[in-house]
């Protein structure tokens, strides 16, 4: 209804109309995130994924151009995962690194046994790792995000995706930057664990 009302303005006040459309876009994005968190990820069937291709697709969308994100992952790395859920988790982590971190941003994926380890690193300080537990709670927001436009569900969604793959989400200050670590169990056994 809001979009229809704005369309009926027929450009009478282009600046007002553009600002209102941006607000509608933000409302839609926030509602989508609420619904995504509420639904969980159990309905999505695990499938074999070319991990590097997935990272490149997410990075291209997150950065608008993939050259803003360096990707380090073998083209032969395959894993059985919930691709939409994992893509969303990576997108959230990349978005945080690009909004609150310091470039360049590096996205890596490696395998250790059945575990696929995805790392999102930037050159900023990040937050104290002992804040991780509280900041992953639904509607929690870090100091750098307060006053922004997020819902406080971004990291909660990533944490839920990790649990849905019998994995974990963690953070660390590393030499020269800050790193978010998403560990996912490869295979239907790991991907079938409930995120509830």
Q: What is the pLDDT along the chain (196 residues), one digit of tens a residue?
A: 676 666 666 667 677 777 777 777 766 655 565 555 555 566 788 999 999 999 999 998 765 555 578 999 999 999 999 998 899 899 989 988 988 888 899 999 999 999 999 999 999 988 776 775 656 555 454 444 433 444 456 688 898 889 889 999 999 988 889 999 999 999 744 444 333 3
| Residues found in the chain | 196
CA distance 68 to 70: 7
Are the beta carbons of 180 and 164 closer than 8 angstroms? no
State the pLDDT at residue 125. Answer: 85
Are the beta carbons of 178 and 126 closer than 8 angstroms? yes
Question: Using CA atoms in the order 163, 195, 95, 130, what is the torsion angle rounded to 10 degrees?
Answer: -50
The CA distances from residue 45 to 55, 184, 187, in Å, are: 19, 15, 11
State the pLDDT at residue 126. Answer: 81
Q: What global pTM score does this model have?
A: 0.69
State the pLDDT at residue 195. Answer: 36
DSSP class of residue 46? Answer: P
**Token output for 141:** 């927001």
């Amino acid at each position: 209804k809001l979009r229809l009302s704005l369309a009926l303005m027929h450009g009478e006040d282009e600046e007002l109309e553009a600002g209102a459309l941006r607000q509608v876009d933000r409302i839609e994005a926030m509602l989508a995130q609420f619904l995504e968190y509420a639904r969980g990820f159990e309905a999505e069937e695990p499938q074999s994924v070319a991990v590097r291709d997935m990272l490149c697709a997410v990075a291209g969308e997150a950065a608008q151009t993939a050259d803003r994100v360096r990707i380090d992952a073998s083209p032969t790395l395959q894993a059985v995962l919930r691709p939409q859920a994992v893509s969303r988790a990576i997108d959230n982590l990349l978005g945080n690194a690009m909004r609150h971190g310091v470039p360049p941003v590096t996205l890596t994926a490696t395998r250790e046994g059945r575990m696929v380890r995805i790392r999102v690193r930037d050159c900023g300080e990040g937050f104290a790792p002992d804040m991780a537990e509280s900041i992953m709670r639904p509607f929690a927001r870090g100091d750098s995000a307060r006053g922004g436009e997020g819902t406080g569900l971004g990291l909660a969604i990533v944490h839920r995706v990790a649990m849905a793959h019998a994995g974990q989400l963690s953070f660390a200050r590393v030499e020269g930057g800050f790193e978010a670590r998403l560990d996912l169990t490869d295979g239907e056994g790991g991907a079938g664990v409930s995120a509830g």
